[in-house]
Structure 1
Amino acid sequence: MGEQQGGFSDDERAAVAQRAAELRSTKGLKGAARLAKELEACAAAVEALEGVDREVAARLHVLVAEEAPQLDPKTWYGFPSYARDGEVVVFYQPASKFGTRYGTVGFQQSARLDDGPMWATSFAVLEVTDEVEARLRELVRRAAG
């Protein structure tokens, strides 16, 4: 992560600035125009990635389209994300965003993954194998439920 200043790292401040830019880019847009702009931004976020980050994000994009087409692609703090009624359900946080060891597929509160008193909401992904893809498909399907 970048330098700490005022409680936030440089990377964290950049993510907040990115989120503000995302909100400005769709201000005043409604319906199909807003969805098209958000889809374009999501696709661009995936395309901007490299290596494993790009592979995972691209595969997640396809899996969401196939398993949960009711979720709308968008970006969220620069992450490729998928939302229901404007609320993010699932997203990919690339390792390159904060210089971490691995990227994660994460699920927000609106994801329907509840399983007793405790459940995982974030999954490290080092590569997309058949087993990983099958697990992600199942998680996305449940989350979008």
Structure 2
Amino acid sequence: MRDKTLTDKNATDLANLQAPTLADFEMLAGEAYERLPEDFRRLCDGVVIKIDDFPDDDTLREMDCETPFDLLGLFRGIGLAQGGGMMQTGQFPNMVWLYRRPILDYWAEHEESLGHIITHVLVHEIGHHFGLSDDDMEAIEAATGEG
């Protein structure tokens, strides 16, 4: 049965939809980052956000994932809570990965907007950099308007 709120034009639009690309995800992650509270973003100076389709095989083994779809995002680096405020020579920058295909799979199975999911994963992974509690991360996410 057809949903009465779905017009013919909307059906056509949906039929022509394509999955967001890596570049689309970069744009969505950038927009999500810009919505984070300014004082929080200021503390994130130097954190690099990367978008990949899936985690690499080493990461999947290290994180004990059963499938490549088990991991939506990952923080790699030395968090501020572990004394990572100063970059050492030869040290890679702190990085957050968002994994496009697992996020899209999660989106397809849940009733949340893609923007909300990307914001949630981004806040959660950056939260590892700071050693934040789940409550702290929920408050930051709520401040973006996506929580």
TM-score (norm 1): 0.30
Larger Rg: 2
* Greater strand content: 1
TM-score (norm 2): 0.30
